[in-house]
Amino acid sequence: MSLTLAKAINSGLRRSLDDDPSVVLLGEDIGALGGVFRVTDGLQQEFGTERVMDMPLAESGIIGMAVGLAFRGYRPVCEIQFDGFIYPAFDQIVAQVAKLHFRTGGAVRMPITIRVPYGGGIGAVEHHSESPEAYFAHTSGLRVVTCSNPQDAHTMIRQAIACDDPVLFFEPKRRYWTTGEVDEELDTLPLGAARVVVPGSDVTLVAYGPLVATAVDAAAAASDGGLSVEVIDLRSLSPVDFGTVEASVRKTGRLVVTHEAQQFGGLGAEIAASITERCFEFLEAAPARVTGFDVPYPPARLEDHFLPDLDRMLDAVDRVLGRQNSLTGWRA
């Protein structure tokens, strides 16, 4: 079945609602409207207002109510309408959702999934293009995942909902309309596993979510130039499947990490630091990062500069290979 990424999540939600009566969907405008991206399209009609509930306009309230429902044995799936609107719920996520299982010595489970359309590239106004994943990956007790294609979108949302831990599920909104084959029965990889999407031997290029497609394009371009770039789709950001990344870097000796999020203190730093710790002696060059700048997400007319693209990825590939690149001769 060929589906867009948005429809693949929709069908994953439908299957989860079907399979488990404790699953409930909570969010703003997810009912009659089907969500601003139509990811929940038709689900309220099909499952009723007790399973798919429009929520008052208060993110802390939505997550706090999900916590109470989880106490009662429910498995809430919350939609945060856009990345930039998750912060009012930060306290409930970080101080309650993430900590309750630990706080209660395992007595109270928080199988809550928080769906967040994230990232830029859609020409939106402020607060609609952010990549806040590092805040949550730094928070013990949470799992953080993101998908890059329709098949994963479908499988991973179902795995996230079925998971007994709280999961932040980041959806690459600019890829909602990407089409691909979806097999509802396919369940090849566990939720925490990364995937090598392009095998290669010269450089390891780690990406996730919206930038996987860009990274694959970069690898194709590099291959035209005779370079073999291995692209890894991280999929899980907490935990990171370092085994897969490490195996690749042991082979290539060179690592480039890319994400849309701001660089300072972002996931790229953790991946670079961890891989350096794990296979320092295999590294031929310092890992390079290709990320959004350390500025608030800029106005739409500037986002092409902010967002990592194929050229900036290739420039970093050149850098880790010690070839001529934009920083050759650059001095602070």
Ligand X SMILES: Cc1ncc(C[n+]2csc(CCOP(=O)(O)OP(=O)(O)O)c2C)c(N)n1
- What whole-number distance in Å separates Cα of residue 315 and Cα of residue 326? 7
Tell me whether residue 305 is one of the annotated catalytic residues: no
Nearer to a copy of itself, 177 or 264 (CB): 264
Asked whether position 33 contacts other proteins by CB under 8 A, the answer is yes
Q: Which of 128, 138, 154, 305 is catalytic?
A: 128
Peptide bond preceding 239: is omega within 30 degrees of 0, i.e. cis? yes
**Residue 272 binding a copy of itself, by CB under 8 A:** yes
Distance CA 268, CA 279 (A): 16
Whichever of 91 and 187 has its CB closer to other proteins, that residue is 91
**Site residues (CB under 8 A) for a copy of itself, limited to 108-127:** 126-127
- Return the residue of 193, 196, 269, 300 that touches a copy of itself, per CB under 8 A: 269
**Closest to 148 measured CA to CA, from 278, 236, 271:** 236
Q: Which of 11, 40, 81, 148 binds ligand X (CB under 6 A)?
A: 81
271 neighbors 240 (Cβ within 8 angstroms): yes
Query: Tokens 């488990």 belong to which residue?
Result: 20
For the bound state, the minimum distance from the C-beta of residue 105 to a copy of itself, rounded and expressed in Å, comes to 10
Q: Which residue has the tokens 């070839």?
A: 323
User: Are the CB atoms for 235 and 145 separated by under 8 Å?
Assistant: yes
Backbone angles phi, psi at 194, to 5 degrees: -85, 170
138 makes contact, choosing from other proteins, ligand X, a copy of itself, none, with CB < 5 to 8 Å by partner type, with: a copy of itself
Torsion sign, CA atoms 110, 112, 44, 7 = negative
Tokens of 66: 């999900």
Q: Using CA atoms, how far apart are residues 119 and 132, in angstroms rounded to an integer?
A: 9
For 259-280, b/e burial (b = at least 16 CB within 10 A) is bbbbbeebbbbbbbeebeebbe
**Minimum CB–partner distance for residue 276 and ligand X (Å):** 38
Phi, psi of 62 (to 5 degrees): -65, -50
Closest distance of CB 270 from a copy of itself, Å: 4
**Per-residue binding letters, 132-151, with a copy of itself (x by CB under 8 A):** --xx-xxxxx----------
Q: How far is the CB of 52 from ligand X (least distance, A)?
A: 17
**Which 204-263 positions form the footprint of a copy of itself (CB under 8 A)?**
238, 262
String marking each residue 41-60 x if it binds ligand X according to CB under 6 A: ----------------x-x-
Q: Which is nearer to other proteins, 138 or 251 (CB)?
A: 138
Binding mask 2-31 toward ligand X (x if CB under 6 A, else -) reads: --------------------------x---
Choose the stretch contacting other proteins; rule: CB under 8 A; options: 149-157, 213-221, 249-257, 304-312.
Answer: 304-312
Q: Are 166 and 97 in contact (CB under 8 A)?
A: yes
C-beta of 174: minimal distance to other proteins in Å? 14
CA 288 to CA 295: how far, in whole Å? 19
Residue 174 in tokens: 């600019």
Bridge partners of residue 115, in order along the sequence:
79, 169
- Residues of this chain that interact with ligand X (CB under 6 A) are 28, 57, 59, 81, 85, 88
- Residues of this chain that interact with a copy of itself (CB under 8 A) are 60, 84, 87-88, 90-91, 94-95, 98-99, 102-103, 126-127, 134-135, 137-141, 238, 262, 264-270, 272-274, 276-278, 280, 283, 285-289, 293-296
Residues designated as active site: 128
